[in-house]
Structure formats: structure tokens, C-alpha cells
Amino acid sequence: MAKPINKRYNDLKSYWRNLFGCNVHKLQIDAGFTCPNRDGLVATGGCIYCDGRGSKLRQQGELPSVAEQIASGKKYYKPHASKYIAYFQTFTNTYAPVEKLRDLYDEALAQEDVIGLSIGTRPDCLAPDVIELLSEYAKKYHIWVELGLQSVHDKTLKLINRGHNFQQFSDAVNSLNGSGLNICVHIIIGLPGESDEDVLTTAKTLASLPVQGIKIHSLLALEGTALGEMYKKGTMSMITKEKYVSLVADVLEILPPKMVIQRLTADGYRDIFLAPDWAMNKLDVLNSINKELARRDSYQGKHYQHLKK
Ligand code: SF4
């Protein structure tokens, strides 16, 4: 399989290889969670870009157990990987009583060669008992908490119906800080109403916080979402590849050199994908980002020290 050209940023695969001395892969888990931004606790309808279908497994019927999902995920990678991180990915993976969370996470960590967890969640769904549980695991395992944020701007968070504001995110980061947990923040480039400056402000803000990792996605319009409807009606235009690549390079230059870059592309199911077309070719996007950094003779963190002064 083709590989991205040389990277000028601290990518997750290399980070884990250096840390553990072997290949480490994430195994995606759908543990049957829902989301408070969809079921009415916080809001209904969810974020305007969220298709609400969950994983392919969920669409096919009854979910296999966590152990079964890990076993089938391992088959895909072996013999290339020797260790795994169980990635609780679908919807909000801390949205349940702590006893249920413990059972699910324990089940994952009991599987052979699973050395840690990555828990995808929302900033407003991290009760103190959940943080306590996760920080207990962090004493023995490699644990990431992945916080959906998308933008630091409240006007954008409102527009995309995130159901939380920046202050709630900041509070969550403060609560997690010092607990032994690694924090990864998800942001989206190309959000409606956002200028280039807005995107750079998001990057500068995250660069100043105790955040260890980031996932950067381009906004995708998917069938069955509010954003997809806006796109079809022509009230929303999608970011071009050139603009996305340029902004990702700008953002990488701002971020701390040690921050782990977990993703630079977005994923959407092909059967509901509307736009932008270029986002479907992830390897091309990654190579374009690397080429842009090379063209600038630049790299992650180039402007970070400057920012700190
Ligand atoms: S928080 Fe995540 S799961 Fe919930 S509606 Fe938004 S994108 Fe969907």
C-alpha cells in the first residue's frame, strides 16, 4: 500500500513506536453508547455534521461484545502490530454510570496485547467519578481522553449545535490536567462562518493549554445531516483542498512540537458522502500537507516559541 511522503510533524504512529518500541494500532470499538446531544439531555438533533448512524457494526444489528470487537480488529492488523489501544469511538463513550464504564473498559484492558484505551467523549460528559476511574487506569495503562471541541469560538459552537461552550471545554481540560491522562482535542477546519483567523485562534488557544494530542478534520457534508441539507440547498460552501492544506500547515506551525498529531483527515461513510470530493482521497491530502510544509521549509512548532514570547 502507498505511504505518505516524509512527515514534518509528530505523528501518532511514530510517537507510539518511539514510546513502546513496536507498532501500536487503535482498534475501534462501538460499545453501544448514545450521545446527550442527540437524546435530549443536552439537545436534540446533534451536531449539524453528525449523521447519527453509529458504526457499521451497529447498523448491521446486535453489537458484538467489546472482546469480540477487539479480536476481529486484531485479525486485520496481525502480524504487523504487536500492541493495541482499544478506541471507544462511537458517540459519547463516557455517557453511562461509572460501574458500566468500568465493566466495558475492564473488558477491553483484559484482552491480550491491549496496552491502553482511547475514550472519545464530550467536554460536558466527564463527571468527577469518571475522571477518577480513568486516572486509576492511567497508573497502569496508556490512556487518552479524546475531547470533541471543533472550535474555541462560542458563536461557531452554537451554530453547529455542539451543546457546550468553550468554558465547559476549558473546565474539562483543567479537571483532566495532572490526572495522568493524555488529552487529545478534535478540531474541524472549514466550519460555517469561520475565517482563517478564527482557525488560527483555535490553534493558538490549544497550543497554550495542557493538551497532548490533536485530531484535525476537514468539515464533511453527509447525507441525512443538517449540514448536508445546507450544502444541498447551496447555503453552505465547502472548503477547498488548497485552503485546507494551507490552514493545516499554518496550524501545525503554531502547535507545540511535542503535541501528538493523531489525524489530519476526516472520515465519512461513502454511501452518505456529499462533499468535498477531495476529502475522500486521504493519502493525497496527507501528501499535499507534507508537500506544503516542505515548500515552506517548515514543520510542526516552527512558530510555537515565537508565540510563547
Ligand atoms: S457530540 Fe459527537 S456523537 Fe454527539 S452529536 Fe456531536 S458529533 Fe454526534
Least confident stretch, 55-64, 88-97, 101-110, 142-151: 55-64
Q: How far is the CA of 48 from the centre of ligand 1 (A)?
A: 9
From the CB of 276, is ligand 1 less than 6 Å away? Answer: no
Relative to the CA of 92, which ligand 1 atom is closest? 3
Cell (9 digits) for 96: 453511562
| pLDDT, average across residues 269-294 | 95
Residue nearest atom 3 of ligand 1, based on CA coordinates = 91
What integer pLDDT is reported at residue 171 of this predicted model?
98
Q: How far is the CA of 49 from the centre of ligand 1 (A)?
A: 8
Q: How far is the CA of 96 from the centre of ligand 1 (A)?
A: 15
Under the banding of pLDDT at 50, 70 and 90, the label for residue 1 is very low
Q: How far is the CA of 178 from the centre of ligand 1 (A)?
A: 26
pLDDT digits (tens, 9 = 90+) for 226-265: 999 999 999 999 999 999 999 999 999 999 999 999 999 9
* 227 within a domain of the structure (yes/no): yes
From the CB of 35, is ligand 1 less than 6 Å away? Answer: yes
From the CB of 101, is ligand 1 less than 6 Å away? Answer: no
What integer pLDDT is reported at residue 164 of this predicted model?
97
- Give residue 75's Cα distance to chain centre: 24
Residue type, 180: G
Q: How far is the CA of 5 from the centre of ligand 1 (A)?
A: 32
* % of the chain with per-residue pLDDT over 90: 88
| pLDDT, average across residues 205-216 | 98
What integer pLDDT is reported at residue 267 of this predicted model?
84
Domain limits for position 267: 12-308
* 5 within a domain of the structure (yes/no): no
* 2 within a domain of the structure (yes/no): no
The pLDDT of residue 85 is above 50 = yes
Under the banding of pLDDT at 50, 70 and 90, the label for residue 269 is confident
From the CB of 125, is ligand 1 less than 6 Å away? Answer: no
From the CB of 47, is ligand 1 less than 6 Å away? Answer: yes
* 4 within a domain of the structure (yes/no): no
Task: With H, G, I as helix, E, B as strand and everything else as coil, classify residue 60.
Answer: helix
Helix (H), strand (E), coil (C) string for 93-124: CCCCCHHHHHHHHHHHHCCCCEEEEEEEECCC
The pLDDT of residue 52 is above 60 = yes
Q: How far is the CA of 88 from the centre of ligand 1 (A)?
A: 14
pLDDT digits (tens, 9 = 90+) for 58-84: 988 999 999 999 999 999 886 766 899
What CATH number is associated with residue 181? 3.20.20.70
β-strand pairing of 114-121 with 142-150: parallel
From the CB of 38, is ligand 1 less than 6 Å away? Answer: yes
E-only strand ranges, the chain: 24-29, 83-88, 114-121, 142-150, 182-189, 213-218, 221-222, 260-263, 273-275
* 7 within a domain of the structure (yes/no): no
What integer pLDDT is reported at residue 6 of this predicted model?
63
Q: Tell me the best of 89, 92, 146, 188 to mutate to test the pocket of ligand 1, counting ligand atoms within 8 Å of each CB and taking the most.
A: 92
Relative to the CA of 46, which ligand 1 atom is closest? 5
Tally the domains of the chain.
1
Under the banding of pLDDT at 50, 70 and 90, the label for residue 307 is low
Under the banding of pLDDT at 50, 70 and 90, the label for residue 266 is very high
* 301 within a domain of the structure (yes/no): yes
- Give residue 83's Cα distance to chain centre: 20
* 298 within a domain of the structure (yes/no): yes
Q: How far is the CA of 80 from the centre of ligand 1 (A)?
A: 32
The pLDDT of residue 5 is above 80 = no
Q: How far is the CA of 46 from the centre of ligand 1 (A)?
A: 6
pLDDT digits (tens, 9 = 90+) for 136-179: 999 999 999 999 999 999 999 999 999 999 999 999 999 999 99
Cell numbers 482535542 correspond to what residue? Answer: 185
Cell numbers 446527550 correspond to what residue? Answer: 36
The pLDDT of residue 309 is above 60 = no
Alpha helices in 112-165 (DSSP H): 128-138, 154-159
* 253 within a domain of the structure (yes/no): yes
| pLDDT, average across residues 125-135 | 98
